[in-house]
Amino acid sequence: MKKDKSLNIGFLVLSHFPALAGAEMANHFLATELNKIDGVRASVAMRKMRHKLPKQLFSYPVYIPFKIGKWERTFRTWARIRMIRKEKNNILFGPTIHTGGRYACEMAQKFKLPFVAQAHGNDVVTNIESGHGVCLDPIRKKEVVTILTKADKILAVSSLLKETIVSFGIDEEKVQVIPNGICYQAIQSMAFEDVRPRYQIKPSDFVLLTVGRNVPFKRLELVLEAFDALHMEIPELKWLIVGRNPEFGELIQSKSWSDRVVVCGTIPAESSDRLYPPYKELINHYRSANLFVSSSYIEPFGITSLEALACGTPILVSPRNGIRDIMVEGSNGKTFFNDDLESLMEGIRYFYQNREVFNQRRFEISESVREYSWEKIAQRVAGVFREVLNH
């Protein structure tokens, strides 16, 4: 029987953890868990951060350019070359097609190595209404398709992304869907602290939660319209807004029902507190809510929705949302299929009317995403790399 080759994976990324964004966090957790697998080693080449990072932050080798400034791009390239040579990488990984995928494609050609590209979201999907997506630019779309064509294998974090990639003319057999993961056990081990009292929210109130920046494609204004329309009908309705949303907070203050909405800001608030996720403060906001809402025009995966489910909180999501690969319709969440105000309002009413049922299901909802721990996702990803390397 042919023995599998050991895997020595070189991650090539632009931005990386502790940047507070989905892809950056995902790459960090994936590299961490890959390094725990026998016969697998992962290392990361990234751009230089503008603040000093603790040495113990990464459990895997990290290669960072020496300088920021005029020659930064050259130093980034040297960092990638240094990693590949020193770590003796035998396969390259390019998360986010137009950045990491491009670097992996270039280095794979230089060192004659196989590479796997990974689509995370706006690198392939687009939304004209909000101007969201790299591929709205025909030139950049052509570059993305070239990288996808040259990749030995493509990972997509949702079937929504796979469908988009296949629509570019890429062979569907080349694209495998493996979602992002969650720090499942770490979340379950955290003691629950109800955040409602600090916001003067009653135990009987029905609390909506949204998490994320107020950028056009997130479509937070649709939730605002729904709240505006329902606040008289549902007197117990409250809304916690987590994320960097200063302008949105000002808009909320202009409403007569502003005392029923809390703009929580970024959680954790201090950058030093963001070094060791998952964040207890954020987890307890998920747990204190009755319903998590994702109203984006398009959400390629929706890691915040997965976090909500891991916390036992049901989710209400728009139709073009990658989390629907994981969500069980009517059991741990629902889709507002018509993707409009009335449909969103109907969804909120449904969860309000069935709030006791879903409160009793919290353990079941949390258990429904147990298999998406980063440990298990890393095993699946390692299997793809082995397949490419042993081909």
Residues 20-29 pLDDT 10s = 678 889 999 9
| Torsion sign (Cα): 150, 156, 160, 162 | positive
- pLDDT under 70: residue ranges of the chain: 1-4, 20, 50, 67-70, 271-273
Q: Name the residue among 3, 2, 9 with its Cα closest to residue 384.
A: 9
Alpha helices in 311-373 (DSSP H): 341-353, 355-360, 362-367
C-alpha distance across the termini of the chain, in Å: 15
Quick check: 164 and 125 in contact, CB under 8 A? yes
Quick check: 16 and 24 in contact, CB under 8 A? yes
Residues sharing a CB contact under 8 Å with residue 346, sequence separation 6 or more, in sequence order: 336
Residue 161 host element (H or E):
helix 159-167
Strands 91-95 and 7-12: parallel
pLDDT tens across 45-92, in order? 998 876 777 778 899 999 998 766 667 788 899 999 999 999 999 999
The yes-or-no answer to whether 7-181+373-389 and 185-372 have a common fold is yes
Report the pLDDT value the prediction gives residue 333, as an integer from 0 to 100.
Answer: 98
Q: Which two tokens stand for residue 105?
A: 């494609």
Q: Walk across the sheet containing 206-211 and list its strands.
A: 261-265, 237-242, 206-211, 291-294, 315-317, 333-335
**Does residue 330 come out as left (phi exceeding 0), alpha (psi in the -120 to 50 range) or beta?**
left
pTM of the model: 0.93
- The CA distance from 53 to 305, in Å, is 29
Report the pLDDT value the prediction gives residue 130, as an integer from 0 to 100.
Answer: 86
141: Cα within 13 Å, side-chain hemisphere: 13
Residues sharing a CB contact under 8 Å with residue 145, sequence separation 6 or more, in sequence order: 168, 169, 170
| Torsion sign (Cα): 233, 236, 240, 245 | positive
Question: What share of the chain in percent tops pLDDT 90?
Answer: 77
Q: Which two tokens stand for residue 289?
A: 């809510």
Q: Name the residue among 6, 62, 3 with its Cα closest to residue 38.
A: 6
Largest CA distance in the chain: 72
May I ask the CATH architecture of the domain 185-372?
Answer: 3-Layer(aba) Sandwich (3.40)
- The CA distance from 35 to 7, in Å, is 10
Spell out the domain ranges in the chain: 7-181+373-389, 185-372
Report the pLDDT value the prediction gives residue 349, as an integer from 0 to 100.
Answer: 98
Q: Which DSSP category does 127 fall into? A: B
Q: Which two tokens stand for residue 80?
A: 């990638």
Report the pLDDT value the prediction gives residue 47, as an integer from 0 to 100.
Answer: 86
Strands 237-242 and 206-211: parallel
Q: Which two tokens stand for residue 351?
A: 């969860």
Asked: is 7-181+373-389 a CATH 3.40.50.2000 domain? The reply is: yes
Please, is 48 exposed, middle or buried when counting C-beta atoms within 10 Å of its C-beta (0-12, 13-18, 19+)? middle
